[in-house]
Amino acid sequence: MRVGMFLNYAGGFREAADEVAELEASGVDLIAVPEAYSFDAVSQLGFLAARTERMTLMAGILQLYTRTPTLTAMTAAGLDYVSGGRFELGVGASGPQVIEGFHGVRYDAPLGRTRELIEVCRQVWRREPVVHEGRHYRIPLPEGEGTGLGKPLKLINHPVRDRIPITVAALGPKSVEQTAEIADGWLPMFFHPERATDVWGEALAAGRSRRAAELGDLDVFASPALAITDRPELVEAALAAVKPNLALYVGGMGARGKNFYNDLVASYGFADEVRVIQDLYLDGRKAEAIAAVPDELVRAISLIGSAAEVADRVQAFRDAGVTTLTVTPLAQASADRVALMRAFRSLVG
């Protein structure tokens, strides 16, 4: 099982990059750099490529709508080059709040766009003249829709690899099924190992039944919060630290009746709880919404407790098919995060 983490650069990216070098020395296999509406992930991944030697660098995630498929492929090939073949491309649809609210691009057809983007990326990396007649992307632009001067072109450079791993962030059944069919990895959110098969098992099985043999096994990610401690007051503090983010996604990421994360957590058996959280959050009562997040839910999707308890939960994630744990270490200071990740690496084995 790979051990990774999402990079937190709230305290400054240069400082975070210094920490990544220490994390690499501590045995961390993968660093994922998020991209929402802060600094872009690409420039930071390039910077990290120069500061690391072994670990995998992953975009976690690049949104479908913010770059053309060919630019996404070029970017991935460039990052794979500067990292010496250590890059993984994470893609996802994000949501209307970011795509329409920040980028001013219509949020539509995430399923079809994902498939076409992956097809174009792999064509670019094979250095084939790019010809794609899709529903959402047509390359080159046909005569009548442009100048008529466009012609199929292939990537000038020779990529380090003609198959860069692609991981897709997916939650809904159709999206998960497609991911299991065509992607190298699957990145869900709020993964509950004991309920994952009930929620996603059918979709994963359907996708895997059509999966090409050359893709190999699907790399399954989970991204739990991490705190290793046997002190009850620190366990309580760690549980409390997870709740604001859960309340934000379950309560505030979407309108009533149209919130992917709310639907997911409800399917875990918390339908009544998430309804209360959403009502409170959307009514502006955020503190009450956070307080309404049940400890049971936080414990189920996190790695919080003594070393023995965390080891048991790691085994539960492993038994549920998880192959990469990209954790969020609950520690404020850099030295404490490095120590926590070192301990976690030893615990996972």
**What pLDDT was estimated at residue 195?**
98
Q: What is the distance between the alpha carbons of residues 44 and 23, in angstroms, rounded to a whole number?
A: 16
Which residue ranges of the chain lie beneath pLDDT 50? none
> Is 111 buried (19+), middle (13-18) or exposed (0-12) by CB count in 10 A?
middle
Bridge partners, residue 221, by sequence: 324
Q: What is the pLDDT of residues 276-317, one digit of tens each?
A: 999 999 999 999 999 999 999 999 999 999 999 999 999 999
**What pLDDT was estimated at residue 307?**
98
**What pLDDT was estimated at residue 10?**
72
Q: What is the distance between the alpha carbons of residues 279 and 284, in angstroms, rounded to a whole number?
A: 9
**What pLDDT was estimated at residue 306?**
98
Counting residues of the chain whose pLDDT is more than 90, the rounded percentage is 89
Beta carbons within 10 angstroms of residue 263's beta carbon: 17
Q: What is the DSSP letter of 41?
A: H
Cα torsion 297, 301, 304, 308: sign: positive
Going from N- to C-terminal start, the domains of the chain cover 2-224+322-348, 231-305
**What pLDDT was estimated at residue 335?**
94
**What pLDDT was estimated at residue 64?**
94
Q: What is the distance between the alpha carbons of residues 131 and 144, in angstroms, rounded to a whole number?
A: 17
Superfamily of domain 2-224+322-348: Luciferase-like domain (3.20.20.30)
> Is 48 buried (19+), middle (13-18) or exposed (0-12) by CB count in 10 A?
buried
Q: What is the distance between the alpha carbons of residues 245 and 149, in angstroms, rounded to a whole number?
A: 49
**What pLDDT was estimated at residue 12?**
82
End-to-end Cα, the chain, rounded Å: 8
Polymer length of the chain:
349
Residues 6+ apart with CB under 8 A from 339: 331
H or E element that contains 77: helix 69-82
What pTM does this model have? 0.95
SS3 of 286-330: the string is: HHHHHHCCCHHHHHHHCEEECHHHHHHHHHHHHHCCCCEEEEEEC
Please list, residue by residue across 271-309, b when 16 or more beta carbons sit within 10 angstroms of its beta carbon and e when fewer do. Answer: eebbbbbbebbbeeebeebbebbbeebbbbbbbbbeeeb
Q: What is the distance between the alpha carbons of residues 161 and 120, in angstroms, rounded to a whole number?
A: 15
Residues 6+ apart with CB under 8 A from 134: 112, 116, 119
